[in-house]
């Protein structure tokens, strides 16, 4: 297996997933025939990375025949072969680097499937099955510790998948784990250093506590200055007047403006029967 860092440095990532190359740009860069190419270019991208790493990892110049299609590779402008059929990558990698270090056939839970190679780096081959025709579709990509490197997540969204993983000799996810722990510690420290206001003492509110009927009765009425001749009014017993339903309702409306408060005044002890 080649070094993961070399594969990562030479991998032509997807434009919409942090890379630089769209499918059309990739084909133009390789300079191969478009006759047999598929819409899925994951195999072409990995072939490009392996050829760029070179030496014993190059795909060579001889036509590759591994699947039932007979021809699974196309020649590029540089004369090297590029596998374009993802299904053929399983036999190719097994023949070149041995059996995968992790193989999980017919998995039904994408989350649990991903746990098998989380914290590792290498080449991941994924086979998904469509609901209608039940035909397998293959995808190959670089797996970088906890995610696909500059590629679509081929695992998410499928109910039946088979995965094969070839771990690179320099696989190292310690930095990712340290960064995750560091971020967690920072979050804890920021939460501990944050001061929260005392709701009872510091929180301001516009809500006014409603007065009880006894408090209202004990409040002296405000005198309004007027130029009209003063008339001495007779003493009025408020307690007696409150026995009058009409007067009591007007009185409560004057002191308790909200209809909601008025309807529920009896339940809060603000009315007298």
Question: Could you give the domains of the chain?
Answer: 4-173 (3.90.1720.70), 211-217+233-273 (no CATH)
Nearest Cα neighbor of 31 from 77, 73, 75 is 77
Can you count the helices (H) and strands (E) in the chain? 11, 7
pLDDT for the residue 119: 95
- Whole-model pTM above 0.75? no
For 112-116, 128-132, 140-144, 169-173, which range has the lowest pLDDT when averaged over its residues?
A: 128-132
In the predicted model, what is the mean pLDDT of residues 34-56?
91
Looking at residue 9, its pLDDT comes to 96
Angstrom distance (rounded) from CA 45 to CA 57: 14
What are the backbone angles phi and psi of residue 168, rounded to the nearest 5°? -75, 150
Could you give the CA distance from residue 96 to residue 47 in angstroms, rounded to a whole number?
A: 13
* Confidence band, pLDDT 50/70/90 cuts, at residue 227: low
Confidence label for 107 from pLDDT (cuts 50, 70 and 90): confident
Interatomic CA distance for residues 140 and 42, integer angstroms? 6
What confidence score (pLDDT) does residue 273 get? 45
What integer is the mean pLDDT of 232-260?
63
64 Cβ neighbours under 8 A, 6+ residues apart: 71, 72, 73, 81, 83, 88, 92
For residues 230 and 75, the model is more confident at: 75
């Amino acid at each position: 297996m080649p070094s993961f860092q070399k594969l990562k440095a030479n991998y032509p990532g997807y434009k919409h997933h942090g890379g630089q190359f769209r499918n059309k740009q990739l084909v133009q860069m390789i300079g191969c025939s478009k006759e047999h190419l598929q819409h899925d270019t994951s195999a072409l991208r990995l072939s490009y990375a392996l050829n760029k790493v070179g030496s014993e990892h190059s795909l060579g110049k001889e036509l590759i025949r591994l699947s039932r299609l007979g021809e699974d590779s196309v020649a590029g402008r540089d004369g090297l072969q590029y596998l374009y059929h993802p299904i053929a990558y399983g036999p190719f990698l097994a023949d070149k680097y041995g059996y995968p270090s992790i193989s999980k056939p017919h998995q039904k839970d994408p989350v649990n499937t991903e746990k098998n190679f989380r914290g590792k780096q290498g080449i991941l081959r994924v086979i998904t099955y469509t609901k209608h025709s039940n035909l397998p579709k293959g995808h190959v990509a670089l797996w970088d510790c906890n995610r696909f490197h500059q590629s679509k997540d081929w695992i998410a969204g499928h109910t039946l998948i088979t995965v094969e993983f070839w771990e690179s000799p320099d696989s190292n996810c310690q930095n990712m784990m340290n960064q995750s722990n560091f971020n967690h510690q920072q979050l804890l420290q920021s939460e501990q250093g944050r001061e929260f206001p005392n709701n009872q003492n510091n929180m301001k509110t516009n809500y006014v506590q409603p007065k009880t009927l006894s408090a209202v009765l004990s409040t002296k009425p405000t005198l309004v200055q007027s130029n009209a001749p003063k008339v001495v009014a007779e003493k009025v017993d408020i307690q007696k007047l409150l026995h009058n339903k009409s007067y009591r309702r007007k009185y409560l409306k004057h002191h308790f403006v909200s209809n909601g408060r008025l309807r529920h005044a009896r339940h809060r002890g603000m009315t007298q029967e």
